[in-house]
Amino acid sequence: MSLREEKTEKKKKEIIHSAMQIIAEKGYYRTTIDDIASKLLITKGTVYYYFQDKQDLLFQSHQLLLQNSIENLKHIHTQPLHPREKLKNAMIAHMDHLLDDQYGFELMHKPEQFFSHQQLEIILQLHRDYTELLDQLIVIGIEDGVFQALDSKVTRNIYLGAMNWLTQWYDNKGKKEKQEILDQMAEYLLNILAK
Amino acid sequence: MSLREEKTEKKKKEIIHSAMQIIAEKGYYRTTIDDIASKLLITKGTVYYYFQDKQDLLFQSHQLLLQNSIENLKHIHTQPLHPREKLKNAMIAHMDHLLDDQYGFELMHKPEQFFSHQQLEIILQLHRDYTELLDQLIVIGIEDGVFQALDSKVTRNIYLGAMNWLTQWYDNKGKKEKQEILDQMAEYLLNILAK
Amino acid sequence: MSLREEKTEKKKKEIIHSAMQIIAEKGYYRTTIDDIASKLLITKGTVYYYFQDKQDLLFQSHQLLLQNSIENLKHIHTQPLHPREKLKNAMIAHMDHLLDDQYGFELMHKPEQFFSHQQLEIILQLHRDYTELLDQLIVIGIEDGVFQALDSKVTRNIYLGAMNWLTQWYDNKGKKEKQEILDQMAEYLLNILAK
Amino acid sequence: MSLREEKTEKKKKEIIHSAMQIIAEKGYYRTTIDDIASKLLITKGTVYYYFQDKQDLLFQSHQLLLQNSIENLKHIHTQPLHPREKLKNAMIAHMDHLLDDQYGFELMHKPEQFFSHQQLEIILQLHRDYTELLDQLIVIGIEDGVFQALDSKVTRNIYLGAMNWLTQWYDNKGKKEKQEILDQMAEYLLNILAK
DNA sequence: GATGAATGAGTGTTCATTCAT
DNA sequence: CATGAATGAACACTCATTCAT
């Protein structure tokens, strides 16, 4: 990658980051291109220089987010840990990521409303990749006899729902430490699979 | 209530129902008043005859939904059943309702973005009423020694998240019967509290 | 006039009166038929029973107002007074009327914007009748040698402008009594014609 | 001021001028943003690029008008003329301005109906500044013994009313020359203060 | 006579998008 | 590369008006 391309890439990430923050706060429809631009002290036109349109910006943001999450999961897969610990780590990483970047919740809900057909294909593939990795953690645990032999897909969906919902009720001014809550959540959820 | 008032009330409910369906499909911001009206073969003006504005329509819809859910839960409370069965029934009723009326998911996410301060007060109170009733079902089970003594609030939030997420992945053309899925979901979730 | 017609006439005047008050406060365009109706605890439909449309209501109100003013002036004409006193009385009556019924000021400004062609004819005729009567009071004074021989039309327009402007600055909570102000205004204005 | 800012300023004034003309003709409420835009062969959107909303456009127009008038009056104050001539010049300038830019009459009537609280503060202050300057011209004449010692505020209000009313009856196709009429008006009005 | 319900044309406003410079 | 200016398609909302009952 040339220096120029790197610079471009860096600028794009800046814009994506700014967009993600504002969309997380205000939601996709309430966020204007102006909001995103003015936060970075640039103009609307500049955003259009780097992205085709609002949808494209959203798409690239979402894609980046998912790719990062997948990388995370892959990394966890490679670690030499007990299946229960691996799954627990995956869940905690998921929630951690979610709370840092509250963004995206809106988009996980009916993504077909936000993306074009082509984009949707890619997004859904990434979703599948992510859930696949999650499923494997469950399946491995079952095969190892660590977990009950439940339906891995239903279980995974329960996990995703419960974890994603965290942004609704997590109170960062609450008494408990964040890590304590995430740990508790993970433990409770692991109860489902416990023998 | 006079005949005329009843008719008005009926019409309002018709509009609310139409609105709920379209908002469930397309989301609040993509739904126009025209969409809602033309589905009922009436005009925009008529919608405005019954509701102050788009927000008011949304508010009244949401309020009605929550009130119905609360009634449901209250009814379950009065039934002479084992705590485990009560909680299971409550969960199944929640999910059943959700799948019938997919609406509302979007709104549960950051309701402060959709409602005025006054409206928000009312909505949040109804939320509290609902979760309170759910919590009680958990607490009673714990006190009766049927459930583990987990944190009822965290457990309840796991339940709500997992259940609300169902609309994301439930496939009504899938192999399994709806009732079978709901039962399975409830059973898995009850695992968390199982001794 | 039959009893029924009288009742109708009375109701029309009620509506006209209500309309005049609100239009005086809020202006023609900011006043809705609903405003006028609800002040009288009747419905929009009822207003349309008595008047063809908003314009018609406005027209009839304005017409009534002008007719009353003309009657006033005619009455002053018949009184056995010194020309200066007659003119002064006419001015004070004009201002008195204006302050009671602040209405109409907006309409005197470019009436062609408010009325249909036919209506305009009638309104303008009434305007002419009124100014004619005012002019005569000036002319008589000049002929009697009481006033300077100024251009009566220009003088009359000065008088009308100065008087109609009163609603802009008259402060009914001010120190001076209303009658005192009106007297002072009239005296000052008479200075113009004074020899 | 940069070239670009100057261009922007120029464009804003163009729009203001267009708006003032149409509002003078049709009144504020009958004037649509489309009217204003299409007169300049631009689109509605462009108007909104330069002004926040219709009210803002109105406010800025009115403000400009008043500022110009105040400048005029200040200039007259500095001239080495007899008090009577100064006042006469001020009156003629006022009327001249009014006839050129018929606009604004509607707004002087109950400005609180057109402007926001903040805007109103500014507008009223400008009104006060203007009338203050007018009052001074009267007071100076009185102190110099040129005028009768009448109440300067009442006199000023008579002057303003009579002058502003001119737009109602001035007929630019009439026999008399404009300057002749304005001179006559001023002379008649000065009669009031004449000893 | 009176009303509640319904209408639809009109208008202000927003905002993603384009493009010449 | 970046920007300011301009656009126009949408959309929420208002309100005079109509009409069946």
Q: Could you give the percent of chain B with pLDDT greater than 90? A: 76
Q: What is the mean pLDDT of residues B167-174?
A: 83
Cβ-defined contact of D184 to C154 (cutoff 8 Å): yes
Mutate to test the interface with B, among A154, A155, A176 (most CBs of B within 10 A): A154
> Is it the case that residue B146 has pLDDT exceeding 90?
yes
> Is it the case that residue D104 has pLDDT exceeding 90?
no
Contact of C56 with C14, CB cutoff 8 Å? no
Residue B25, CA atoms < 13 Å, CB-side half-sphere: 9
Residues of D in contact with C109 (CB under 8 A): 105-106, 109, 168
CATH architecture of C53-193: Orthogonal Bundle (1.10)
Contact of C54 with C33, CB cutoff 8 Å? yes
> Is it the case that residue B169 has pLDDT exceeding 60?
yes
Cβ-defined contact of C168 to D30 (cutoff 8 Å): no
CA of C67 to C1' of F20 (A): 38
Cβ-defined contact of B188 to A154 (cutoff 8 Å): yes
Least confident stretch, B185-194, C16-25, D100-109 = D100-109
Exposed e or buried b for every residue in B52-65, given b needs 16+ CB within 10 A?
Answer: eebeebbbbbbbeb
Contact of A43 with A68, CB cutoff 8 Å? no
Question: What's the Cα-to-Cα distance from C163 to each of A180, C94, D144, rounded to whole Å?
Answer: 79, 8, 28
DSSP string covering A3-68, please? Answer: HHHHHHHHHHHHHHHHHHHHHHHH-TTT--HHHHHHHTT--HHHHHHH-SSHHHHHHHHHHHHHHH
Using CB atoms, pick whichever of B105, B158, B162 lies closest to residue A109: B105
Shortest-distance nucleotide from B45 CA to C1' = E7
Helix axes A152-169, A83-100, angle to 10 degrees: 40
| Token representation of residue A64 | 């980046």
Protein residue minimizing CA–C1' distance to F7: D45
pLDDT tens-place string over residues C125-147: 999 999 999 999 999 999 999 99
pLDDT value of residue A87:
97
pLDDT tens-place string over residues C181-190: 999 999 999 9
B50 Cβ nearer than 7 Å to chain E strand: yes
CA of A63 to C1' of E15 (A): 25
Residues of A in contact with B155 (CB under 8 A): 188
Question: What's the Cα-to-Cα distance from C139 to each of B28, B87, C83, C185, D181, rounded to whole Å?
Answer: 72, 97, 9, 20, 20
| Token representation of residue A23 | 């969309």
Helix axes A152-169, B152-169, angle to 10 degrees: 120
Q: What is the mean pLDDT of residues B132-149?
A: 96
The dihedrals phi and psi of D104, each to the nearest 5 degrees, come to: 100, -20
Helix (H, G, I), strand (E, B) or coil at C158: helix
Helix (H, G, I), strand (E, B) or coil at C117: helix
- Which nucleotides in chain F lie less than 7 Å from some protein C-beta? 1-20
Shortest-distance nucleotide from B11 CA to C1' = E5
What count of CB pairs under 8 Å joins C to D?
A: 95
pLDDT value of residue A13:
92
Residue in the block written with tokens 């009916």: A110
pLDDT value of residue D30:
93
Contact of D165 with C161, CB cutoff 8 Å? yes
| Token representation of residue B72 | 């449901």
Helix (H) or strand (E) run with residue B88 in it:
helix B83-100
The rounded mean pLDDT for chain C is 92
Residues B90, B78: Cα–Cα separation, whole Å: 12
Shortest-distance nucleotide from D52 CA to C1' = E13
Residues A82, A10: Cα–Cα separation, whole Å: 38
Q: Could you give the percent of chain C with pLDDT greater than 70? A: 96
Contacts of C130 (CB under 8 A, 6+ apart): C66, C69, C70, C73
Q: What is the mean pLDDT of residues D116-123?
A: 93
pLDDT value of residue A25:
85
> Is it the case that residue B103 has pLDDT exceeding 80?
no
Residue D142, CA atoms < 13 Å, CB-side half-sphere: 15
Cβ-defined contact of C164 to D161 (cutoff 8 Å): yes
Determine the straight-line distance between the first and last CA of chain A, rounded to whole angstroms. 51
Name the interface residues of A facing B (CB cutoff 8 Å): 26-27, 29-30, 105-106, 108-110, 113, 150-151, 154-155, 157-166, 168-169, 181, 184-185, 188-189, 191-194
Cβ-defined contact of D161 to C157 (cutoff 8 Å): no
Protein residue minimizing CA–C1' distance to F2: A46
Using CB atoms, pick whichever of A108, A163, A191 lies closest to residue B192: A191
| Token representation of residue A128 | 């599948």
CA of B42 to C1' of E5 (A): 12
pLDDT tens-place string over residues C173-182: 877 899 999 9
Cβ-defined contact of D168 to C108 (cutoff 8 Å): yes
Cβ-defined contact of D158 to C185 (cutoff 8 Å): yes
Shortest-distance nucleotide from C46 CA to C1' = E2
Residues C176, B184: Cα–Cα separation, whole Å: 86
Cβ-defined contact of C158 to D188 (cutoff 8 Å): yes
Q: What's the gap in Å between the CA of C188 and the closest CA on chain D?
A: 6
DSSP state of B14: H
pLDDT value of residue D134:
96
Contact of D119 with D111, CB cutoff 8 Å? no
Degrees (nearest 5) of the Cα angle B62, B67, B68?
100
Cβ-defined contact of D162 to C166 (cutoff 8 Å): no
Name the interface residues of B facing A (CB cutoff 8 Å): 26-30, 105-106, 108-110, 113, 150-151, 154-155, 157-166, 168-169, 181, 184-185, 188-189, 191-194
Return the domain boundaries, chain B: 1-51, 53-193
Residue among C20, C7, C96, C109 at smallest CA distance from C60: C20
pLDDT value of residue B131:
94
pLDDT value of residue C104:
56
DSSP string covering D91-139, please? Answer: HHHHHHHHHHS-TTHHHHSSGGGTS-HHHHHHHHHHHHHHHHHHHHHHH
Q: What is the mean pLDDT of residues D4-19?
A: 92
Name the interface residues of D facing C (CB cutoff 8 Å): 26-30, 105-106, 108-110, 113, 150-151, 154-155, 157-166, 168-169, 181, 184-185, 188-189, 191-194
pLDDT profile of chain A (195 residues), mean per 10:
79 92 89 94 94 94 91 95 96 91 66 88 94 96 96 96 90 84 97 94
pLDDT tens-place string over residues D19-50: 999 998 888 999 999 999 999 999 999 999 99
pLDDT value of residue B30:
93
In the structure, what pLDDT confidence band is assigned to residue B60 with cuts at 50, 70 and 90?
A: very high
- The CATH class that applies to domain C1-51 reads mainly alpha
Cβ-defined contact of B165 to A162 (cutoff 8 Å): yes
Domain D52-193 annotated CATH 1.10.357.10: yes
